[in-house]
Structure 1
Amino acid sequence: MSIKIAVEVSGKSFLPEAHVYKKRFLSLGFKCDIVPKDDYTPDSYDAVVLFHGFHPFWKKYPRFIIGEYHSLSVGRFSRVKDLIKRILNVKADFLVFLNKEVRDLMWFSESDNHVFRGMGFYPSARKSKNFQSREFDVVYCGSERAGVVREVEKLARLGLKIAVVGFYSDREIKNVKFFGRLSSKDAGDVVNNSRFGLNYTPDVFPLNIQDSTKVIEYCGAGIGVITNRYYWVNEFERRWNGKFISLDSIAHSSDIFDYEYVVPDVSELEWDVVVDSMFEKISAKLAPSDNRFSKNF
Structure 2
Amino acid sequence: MILNELSVVIPTLGGKSINTVIDKINDGIDKPNEILICIPKSNNNKLDISNHKNIKIINTTKGQVQQRIEGFKKAQNKFVLQLDDDCKILNNDIKNLLFELKKLGEGNVIAPIYYDEKTDKCSHPFITGLKGFVKSLIATIICGAPWGLRRMGCISKIGTNYGVDVNYMNSNLKETEWIPGGCVLHYNKSTIKENFFPFSGKAFCEDLMHSFLLRENSIKLWVCKNSSCKTEHAYFPNQKKEIIQYLEAFKYLQKLRNKRIARFWIWYFLNLLRIWIKFNVKNNENEFINIGIKINKISYTPEAYAYANYFQNKGFIVDLNYKEKLKKNNDIVINFMGFRPFWVNFINKNILEIHEYTSLSTKPLPKIKDKIKYFFNSKPAGRIFMNKYIKESFNFKDNVPFIFREMGADPEMYKKNNNEKEFDIVYCGSVLYRKGLIDIIENLAKLDLKILIIGFYDNKTFDRFQKYQNIKMLGRIERYQIPEYYSKCKVGLNFTPNIHPLNLQSSTKTIEYCAAGLGVISSKYKWINDFAKDRKANFLWIDEIKSKSDFEKFNFISPNVDDLSWPNILDNCNLDKFILKVMNRL
- TM-score with structure 1 setting the length: 0.89
- Counterpart position of 1:203: 498
| 1:56 has 2:330 as partner | no
The structure 1 segments of at least 4 consecutive aligned residues displaced by more than 6 Å after TM superposition are none
| 1:134 has 2:421 as partner | yes
- Counterpart position of 1:279: 575
| 1:156 has 2:445 as partner | yes
- CA shift for structure 1 position 199: 1.1
* 2:297–2:322 CA contact under 8 A, matched in 1: yes
Q: 2:363 aligns with which of 72, 75, 78?
A: 75
Q: 2:515 aligns with which of 220, 224, 227?
A: 220
Q: Secondary structure at the match of 1:275?
A: helix
Which range moves more in the overlay, 4-13 or 82-91? 4-13
- CA shift for structure 1 position 160: 0.9
Deviations 1:27-62 (Å, cap 9, x if unpaired)? 2222221132244454x1211111112222112244
- Counterpart position of 2:332: 47
- Counterpart position of 2:392: 104
- TM-score with structure 2 setting the length: 0.47
Q: Secondary structure at the match of 2:530?
A: helix
Provide the alpha-carbon RMSD of the alignment: 2.1
Distance 1:74 1:260, change over 3 A: same
- Counterpart position of 1:294: none
* 1:48–1:61 CA contact under 8 A, matched in 2: no
- Counterpart position of 2:76: none
Which range moves more in the overlay, 31-40 or 16-25? 31-40
Q: 1:184 aligns with which of 467, 470, 479?
A: 479
Distance 1:112 1:238, change over 3 A: farther
Distance 1:61 1:69, change over 3 A: farther
C-alpha distance in structure 2 between counterparts of 1:220 and 1:21, whole Å: 18
* Percentage identity across paired residues of the two chains: 37
C-alpha distance in structure 1 between counterparts of 2:530 and 2:350, whole Å: 39
C-alpha distance in structure 2 between counterparts of 1:279 and 1:126, whole Å: 22
Distance 1:182 1:207, change over 3 A: same
C-alpha distance in structure 2 between counterparts of 1:280 and 1:5, whole Å: 11
What pairs with 1:14-25 in structure 2 (closer than 5 Å)?
14-25=300-311
Q: Secondary structure at the match of 1:12?
A: coil
C-alpha distance in structure 2 between counterparts of 1:269 and 1:194, whole Å: 21
Alignment-mate amino acid for residue 575 of structure 2 = F
C-alpha distance in structure 1 between counterparts of 2:560 and 2:305, whole Å: 24
C-alpha distance in structure 1 between counterparts of 2:423 and 2:506, whole Å: 25
* 1:45–1:62 CA contact under 8 A, matched in 2: no
Q: 1:143 aligns with which of 430, 437, 440?
A: 430
- CA shift for structure 1 position 121: 0.9
Distance 1:110 1:135, change over 3 A: farther
Which range moves more in the overlay, 232-241 or 251-260? 251-260
Unaligned runs of 5+ in 2: 1-284
- Counterpart position of 1:253: 548
C-alpha distance in structure 2 between counterparts of 1:8 and 1:62, whole Å: 17
Give 1 or 2 for the bigger CA radius of gyration. 2
| 1:230 has 2:522 as partner | no
Q: 2:561 aligns with which of 266, 270, 292?
A: 266
Distance 1:109 1:209, change over 3 A: farther
Which range moves more in the overlay, 25-34 or 217-226? 25-34
* 2:486–2:516 CA contact under 8 A, matched in 1: yes
Alignment-mate amino acid for residue 279 of structure 1 = L
- Counterpart position of 2:354: 66
Deviations 1:128-173 (Å, cap 9, x if unpaired)? 3437x21101111122211111111221111111111113323224
* 2:292–2:327 CA contact under 8 A, matched in 1: no
Distance 1:267 1:3, change over 3 A: same
Distance 1:33 1:73, change over 3 A: same
C-alpha distance in structure 1 between counterparts of 2:498 and 2:584, whole Å: 46
Alignment-mate amino acid for residue 151 of structure 1 = I
| 1:3 has 2:289 as partner | yes
C-alpha distance in structure 2 between counterparts of 1:211 and 1:137, whole Å: 24
C-alpha distance in structure 2 between counterparts of 1:55 and 1:39, whole Å: 18
- Counterpart position of 1:295: none
C-alpha distance in structure 2 between counterparts of 1:119 and 1:61, whole Å: 30
C-alpha distance in structure 1 between counterparts of 2:448 and 2:585, whole Å: 62
C-alpha distance in structure 2 between counterparts of 1:289 and 1:40, whole Å: 23
Which range moves more in the overlay, 52-61 or 154-163? 52-61
Distance 1:250 1:110, change over 3 A: farther
Q: 2:312 aligns with which of 6, 26, 29?
A: 26
- Counterpart position of 2:105: none
C-alpha distance in structure 2 between counterparts of 1:116 and 1:253, whole Å: 41
Q: Secondary structure at the match of 2:556?
A: coil
Alignment-mate amino acid for residue 11 of structure 1 = K
Which range moves more in the overlay, 219-228 or 6-15? 6-15
Q: Which has the higher contact order (CA 8 A, sep 6+)?
A: 1
- CA shift for structure 1 position 68: 0.3
